[in-house]
């Protein structure tokens, strides 16, 4: 259960209660601090709030309560803007000073009630309007919170564990009842529960993002989902898609929204009851089709059971069912998949096609803590993978196929350039993951800085393209020491993290990583290299690899070891490219 702490100038009791009672994953325990003391609690590292590790700290304040110059502005007094922004900077610095006390800090933006009309006509005029001032304050706050804390080795926005949440959107969703004057005067609660419900949704999405529980694959139906009409009945020329038609335009927009997801690292698939040739022809040849076959990582277009097809497609893409979202206009198909595959997210889907895009954009299951170039390229990588698999069907043995891929890997020490992607990989990978240890960028960097700890990243490419940073290996070495009789060194090394993206599993990269770890352990004076497997519901592929890796398995079946006096062979199908920064001992 994740531990959440709240710090606020107002009564967050309802938010805390809604968060506790919310049924969505992950479950949380909420520690409420006394409201009205945000400065005292944030500034005091010895405050009881910080006695235990906090997974997520939520700092939610009202601007007039923490920025005194803004309180003056609310009274229409002239304010010194430089002083006001200095106050914002101080507040941001105070929040950032807590970065080491929580894995993640969430800060909702400052808002004003909808009835606060300020200077009306002049609201957006610089130096006069409250709306203008508050927008600039929020911008300033976000910029300050993105920055690195003084003295920190982390740099840049992508490595900050402070995230600013857009509370204005919650206000719009809640409407005129977003604020409650009655609740404020009776209980020091400025917001209605509608606001808090929105905040709970965003908080849960953020927690899923840091725990790697975000969805990665959207599987869509075709007829009456991606386009209007049954292509097998009416032909591609009569499909409703684009043109001067409300539904047609809405479906084009829906396809654009799906395509936009691929730029955020989400991949697309098709499961449809159709004739494959007919459906693919429509995807290729309809003049207003936005999504073409190359936008999909894979498909199952046949007359079989959709639930089974979703299972098969996810397996083909090396993804667990917990990564899948299934979108279908047919409530019977949705119910079938929901019942057979409870891990798959099957959102209720509107009958009205003009609501499709909205329904997609409202899903809060794709949030990530950072967006890397690998994410942006992921869809293209999966398309390359489909071509790879096609090539496999034309080549004889597995060994021949692997050799034909010309797999090259680059092993690098963890560094600031690869830290964001490395942490993301560590936190999102479920299957080939030895211990499923989850760490923020800061925690990973701190761990790697310990003496005798080493973390490497593995980049992979082959003849079909660059697969990016897809592996992570970390080893902890106990310094060699003399045994009791002083005769022999007794140092040992342990693999702490053995992580490989499902995109590159089964290409002998796993064996290459073990060979690399063995060499490192031997160079560091360790006699034995161990890997302790910690089972989860999802990482059985890692156990299966260890069992065929040649490492000796303990009687309990969870510890695997290799005597470093013996070479672990590097598979001939893998070439180790630039090792300048990674060779053990260098």
Partner 1 sequence: MDQPDRILGAIYRAIDELNMTQPMEGKVSKSPEAALAAPAGPLDSLGLVNLVVETEQQIEDEFRVAINLADQQAASASQNPLASVQSLADYIRSKLGDTDSG
Binding site for partner 1 (CB under 8 A): 11, 13-14, 17-18, 20-21, 177, 180, 182-183, 186-187, 189, 192-193
Smallest distance, partner 1 to C-beta of residue 223, A = 39
Smaller CB distance to partner 1: residue 192 or 322? Answer: 192
Rounded least distance, CB 26 to partner 1, Å: 19
Give helix 81-96 / helix 130-146 axis angle, nearest 10°. 40
Cβ nearer to partner 1, comparing 21 with 397: 21
Euclidean distance between CA atoms 405 and 424, whole angstroms: 26
Cis peptide before 81 (omega within 30 of 0): no
Cβ 368 to partner 1, closest distance in Å? 29
Q: Which is nearer to partner 1, 185 or 393 (CB)?
A: 185
Shorter beta-carbon distance to partner 1: residue 175 or 246: 175
Taken as a whole, the chain contains a residue count of 586
Contact between 88 and 67 under an 8 Å Cβ cutoff? The reply is yes
Query: Which residues on neighbouring strands pair with residue 217, listed in sequence order?
Result: 267, 324
For 449-516, give the DSSP string: TSTTEEEEEEEEEETTEEEEEEEEEEEEEEPP-B-TTS-SB-EEEEEEEEEE-GGGTTSSHHHHHHHH
The packing angle between helices 441-448 and 419-428, to 10°, is 110
CB 178, min distance to partner 1, A? 13
Assign 30 to helix, strand or coil: strand
Which residue, 193 or 302, is less far from partner 1 as judged by CB?
193
24 versus 371: smaller Cβ distance to partner 1: 24
In the complex with partner 1, which residue's Cβ is closer, 22 or 288? Answer: 22
Least Å distance between CB 57 and partner 1? 21
Q: How far is the CB of 186 from partner 1 (least distance, A)?
A: 5
Q: Work out how close the CB of 507 gets to partner 1 at its nearest, in angstroms, rounded to a whole number.
A: 50
Q: What is the DSSP string of 237-285?
A: GG-B-SSS-HHHHHHHHHHHHHHHHHTTT-EEEEEEES-HHHHHHHHHH
**Shortest Å distance, C-beta 173 to partner 1:** 16
Task: Give rounded-to-5 percent helix, strand, coil for the chain.
Answer: 40, 20, 35
Contact (Cβ atoms closer than 8 angstroms) between residue 255 and residue 226: yes
How far CA 311 is from CA of 261, 271, 337, 373, in Å, comes to 21, 10, 10, 28
- Residue 346 CA, chain-centre distance (Å), reads 19
Q: 32 or 132, CB closer to partner 1?
A: 32
Q: How far is the CB of 559 from partner 1 (least distance, A)?
A: 42
Nearest to 465 by CA among 543, 364, 377: 377
Shortest reach from residue 105's CB to partner 1, in Å: 24
CB of 175 to partner 1, least distance (A): 12
Which residues pair with residue 223 across a beta bridge?
227
Residue (176 or 361) nearer to partner 1, CB: 176
Cβ atoms of 458 and 411 closer than 8 Å: yes
Sequence-distant (≥ 6) Cβ neighbours of residue 214 within 8 angstroms? 208, 365, 366, 367, 368, 428
Q: Which residues contact 113 (CB under 8 A, 6 or more apart)?
A: 178, 179, 190
Q: Where are the alpha helices (DSSP H) in 494-583?
A: 509-523, 540-548
Of residues 188 and 437, the one with the C-beta less far from partner 1: 188
Is 324 within 8 Å of 316 (Cβ atoms)? no
Q: CA 122, 123, 129 angle in degrees (round to 5)?
A: 95
Our CB check for partner 1 shows the closer of 32 and 276 to be 32
């Amino acid at each position: 259960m994740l531990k959440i702490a709240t710090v606020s100038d107002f009564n967050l009791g309802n938010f805390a209660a809604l968060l506790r009672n919310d049924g969505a994953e992950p479950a949380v325990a909420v520690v409420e601090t006394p409201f009205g003391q945000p400065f005292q609690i944030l500034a005091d590292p010895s405050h009881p709030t910080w006695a235990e590790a906090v997974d997520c700290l939520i700092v939610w304040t009202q601007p007039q309560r923490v920025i005194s110059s803004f309180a003056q502005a609310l009274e229409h007094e002239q304010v010194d803007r430089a002083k006001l922004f200095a106050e914002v900077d101080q507040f941001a610095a105070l929040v950032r000073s807590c970065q080491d006390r929580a894995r993640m800090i969430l800060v909702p933006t400052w808002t004003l009630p909808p009835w606060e009309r300020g200077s009306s006509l002049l609201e957006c005029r610089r130096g006069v309007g409250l709306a203008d001032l508050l927008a600039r304050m929020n911008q300033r706050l976000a910029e300050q919170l993105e920055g690195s804390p003084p003295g920190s080795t982390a740099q840049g926005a992508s490595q900050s564990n402070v995230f600013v949440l857009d509370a204005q959107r919650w206000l719009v969703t809640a409407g005129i009842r977003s604020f409650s004057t009655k609740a404020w005067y009776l209980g020091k609660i400025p917001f209605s529960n509608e606001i808090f419900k929105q905040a709970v949704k965003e908080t849960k999405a953020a927690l899923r993002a840091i725990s790697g529980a975000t969805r990665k694959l959207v599987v869509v139906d075709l007829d009456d989902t991606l386009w209007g009409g049954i292509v097998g009945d009416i032909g591609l020329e009569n499909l409703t898609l684009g043109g001067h038609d409300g539904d047609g335009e809405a479906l084009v927009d829906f396809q654009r929204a799906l395509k936009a997801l691929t730029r955020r690292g989400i991949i697309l698939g098709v499961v449809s009851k159709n004739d494959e040739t007919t459906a693919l022809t429509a995807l290729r040849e309809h003049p207003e089709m936005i999504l073409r076959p190359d936008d999909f990582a894979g498909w199952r277009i046949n007359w079989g059971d959709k639930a089974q097809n979703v299972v098969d497609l996810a397996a083909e893409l090396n993804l667990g069912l917990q990564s899948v979202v299934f979108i279908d206009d047919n409530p019977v198909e949705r119910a079938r998949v929901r019942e057979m595959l409870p891990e798959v997210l099957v959102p209720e889907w509107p009958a009205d096609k003009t609501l499709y895009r909205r329904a997609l954009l409202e899903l809060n299951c794709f949030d990530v803590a950072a967006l890397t170039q690998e994410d942006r390229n992921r869809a293209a990588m999966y398309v390359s993978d489909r071509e790879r698999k096609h090539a496999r069907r034309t080549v004889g043995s597995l060994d021949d196929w692997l050799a034909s891929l010309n797999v090259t890997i680059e092993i690098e020490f963890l560094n600031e350039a690869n830290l964001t992607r490395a942490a993301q990989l560590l936190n999102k990978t479920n299957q080939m993951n030895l211990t499923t240890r989850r760490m923020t960028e800061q925690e990973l960097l701190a761990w790697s800085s310990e003496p005798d700890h080493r973390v490497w990243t593995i980049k992979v490419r082959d003849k079909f393209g660059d697969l990016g940073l897809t592996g992570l290996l970390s080893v902890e070495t106990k310094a060699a020491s003399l045994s009791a009789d002083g005769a022999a060194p007794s140092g040992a090394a342990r693999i702490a993290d053995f992580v490989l993206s499902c995109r590159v599993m089964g290409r002998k990269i796993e064996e290459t990583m073990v060979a690399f770890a063995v060499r490192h352990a031997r160079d560091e004076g360790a006699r034995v290299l161990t890997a302790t497997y910690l089972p989860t519901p999802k990482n059985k592929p890692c156990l299966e690899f260890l069992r065929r890796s040649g490492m000796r398995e303990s009687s309990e079946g969870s510890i695997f070891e290799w005597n470093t006096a013996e070479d672990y062979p590097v598979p001939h199908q893998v070439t180790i490219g630039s090792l300048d920064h990674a060779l053990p001992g260098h």
